[in-house]
Amino acid sequence: MNSPSSQLIDPFGRHVTYVRISVTDRCDFRCLYCMAEEMTFLPRAQILSLEEIYTIAQAFCELGVSKLRITGGEPLVRNNVLDLFKKLGKLPALKELVLTTNGSHLAQMAEDLKQAGVKRINISLDTLNPFKFKQLTRTGELATVLAGIKAAKRAGFERLKLNAVILKNRNHQEVGDLVQFAIDQQIDISFIEEMPLGAISEHSRLESYYSSPLIKADLATRFSLIPSLEKTAGPSDYFTVAGTQTKVGFISPHSANFCSQCNRVRLTVEGQLLLCLGNEHAVDLKKVIRANPGDTAYLKQIIRNALLIKPEKHEFNLKEQPIILRYMNSTGG
């Protein structure tokens, strides 16, 4: 929801109240749609320290941001990341501290994350078949993620949601089983259309495209989906599965444009403030804080000014080579 107290307003009148922060580009998985098999990760000097991430997050909260999502890469593989969660959890203006994870470290960390003040977690899960899971993630183990989901449920977060990227002929046949799994676990699920971020050679993004309307039609053969009144000012379009508490969301960058509702910006692990996921417009906040240590007023002025270049909408085209050369892991999905 847009907060009237936010000082971050773009030329199209949109209030920014939500920042997604990538704390690492590294990951223990190599999902086919997210990364190439061989990836080069950034050297340490090039990425923000945890203290620098905290400084920038604090500045955003002082400017009216009330929601922070910690993501990556896989955020839980960053050394000492719990210390960051603990500090962020104490920011007075912050209403929602949330996390997106592949679930591989949740079995060990769920309880500590809850104690640190994390309210909700999105856990990526594209298939319930262990062999397919290995194929899609290249290095992941389904059992570890299922144990992570169990631990997160036990820890008692306000909300748990699964994220599933659906690819034609890879996992599109499983959308019904994934919804049934979410119902059984009494959690929610969102289906995501694959986005052309970064160059991958493993598959053609055009051939693997499986649209949200197709997923909805598949689900309609097994479930009754009732449009939900829930509005998050975000890209998800929500439905409730009749007779259950489970919500099913559709994130449809291709089939439904959600830019007019956009309330968010992203901070990359290199300290680039990205004004739009589907454009290159960015401001280098690492440079600002390293050149002006301790000058929060200046940092906040730079952030306010950055909003003036937030583009009106994203530009994705599945038929062409990606115009966005960043991979999702360095962007912060």
Give the interface with ligand SF4 as residue ranges (CB under 6 A): 27, 29-31, 34-35, 72-74, 102, 124, 328-329
Q: Which residue number, 126 or 237, has a Cβ lying nearer to ligand SF4?
A: 126
Given the DSSP bridges, would you call strands 264-267 and 272-274 parallel, antiparallel or unpaired? Answer: antiparallel
Amino acid at 316: F
Closest approach, Cβ 41 to ligand SF4, in A, equals 11
The interface partner of residue 197, options being ligand SAM, ligand SF4, none and the CB cut-off 5 to 8 Å by kind, is ligand SAM
Considering CB under 6 A, how many residues would be counted as binding ligand SAM? 19
Beta bridge partners of 159: 120
Question: 228-267 mask for ligand SAM (x: CB under 6 A)?
Answer: ----------------------------------------
- For residue 124, report the phi and psi dihedrals to the nearest 5 degrees: -80, 130
Q: Which residue number, 3 or 102, has a Cβ lying nearer to ligand SAM?
A: 102
Q: Retrieve residue 175's tokens.
A: 């959308």
The interface partner of residue 30, options being ligand SAM, ligand SF4, none and the CB cut-off 5 to 8 Å by kind, is ligand SF4
Closest approach, Cβ 240 to ligand SAM, in A, equals 21
* DSSP codes, 67-100: EEEEESS-GGGSTTHHHHHHHHTT-TT--EEEEE
CA pair distance 332, 313, nearest whole angstrom: 18
Residue 242 gets which letter from DSSP? T
160 binds ligand SAM per the rule CB under 6 A: no
Tell me how far CA of residue 178 lies from CA of 16, 127, 142, 171, in angstroms. Answer: 32, 7, 13, 10
Closest approach, Cβ 225 to ligand SAM, in A, equals 21
The interface partner of residue 60, options being ligand SF4, ligand SAM, none and the CB cut-off 5 to 8 Å by kind, is none
Q: Which residue number, 153 or 300, has a Cβ lying nearer to ligand SAM?
A: 153
DSSP H/E element including 132:
helix 130-137
33 binds ligand SAM per the rule CB under 6 A: yes
Q: Which 3 state secondary structure label does DSSP give 104? A: coil
Which strands form 159-166's sheet, in the order they lie side by side?
Answer: 225-227, 236-241, 247-251, 188-193, 159-166, 120-124, 96-101, 67-71, 18-22, 264-267, 272-274, 282-284
Candidate list 6, 24, 101, 279; residue touching ligand SAM; CB under 6 A: 101
The interface partner of residue 252, options being ligand SAM, ligand SF4, none and the CB cut-off 5 to 8 Å by kind, is none
Which residues contact ligand SAM (rule: CB under 6 A)? 27, 33-34, 71-72, 74, 100-102, 124, 163, 165, 192, 194-195, 197, 328-329, 333
